[in-house]
Amino acid sequence: MRSLKPNVTKDEALRTFRAPGPSSLYWRLRTGPLQRIAEAYVPFRLYRVRYAMNKEKVQRIFAMDAVDGSLDLFEFRTAPQEEELVTVQTRNCLAGTLNEQRAQDVLRDKVLRIVFQQGFFKLRAASLKIEALPGEIHLPYWLGFYGASDGLRCRVMDAVRRRLEGAKASAFFEQWLAA
């Protein structure tokens, strides 16, 4: 599969999950010690979205997860080029199950939310033109497993944006692991 190159190594992810500080302390107190980490890959579809903001025509490239559309959107200046991608072979890959019509409906709602946050009154019309771009890319995540073997909890790090994700991403991966 084709994946964006991760910006976080295994050692860096491990240091982040073990880092001193309120967030890590909270996880350890709430769920137990860090047991292990693993890399996981989520399929994303690319879309070109066009709309009018004031008198300016805007074009943006978004990537949305192809599993259920619940993860945060990625935005790119241009579609990822081959030199930004790596080929990965792993079993830690989620399946893309979101049909194209549902994906475009979810994407439309998410993009409208983003546009309205930039200024509701600047939007000339709520008409978005969504174009699916060919291909699918996978985005890497680091999963930190906390607790005991009878009740592991998952903490998620986005390996491209170098940030820890919230409860929504944790629930997303925990649901995948439980299936």
59-89 tens-digit pLDDT: 999 999 999 999 999 999 999 999 999 999 9
- Rounded to a whole number of angstroms, the CA Rg of the chain reads 18
d(CA 136, CA 117): 28
pLDDT, averaged across the chain? 90
Encode pLDDT of 153-167 as tens digits.
999 999 999 999 999
d(CA 128, CA 100): 16
pTM of the model: 0.89
Note whether 111 and 47 are within 8 A (CB): no
Supply the pLDDT for residue 108.
Answer: 92
Which residue matches tokens 């979101």? Answer: 98
Q: Which amino acid is at 76?
A: F
148, two tokens: 């005991």
Encode pLDDT of 99-153 as tens digits.
999 999 999 999 988 887 776 555 555 678 999 999 899 999 999 999 876 778 9
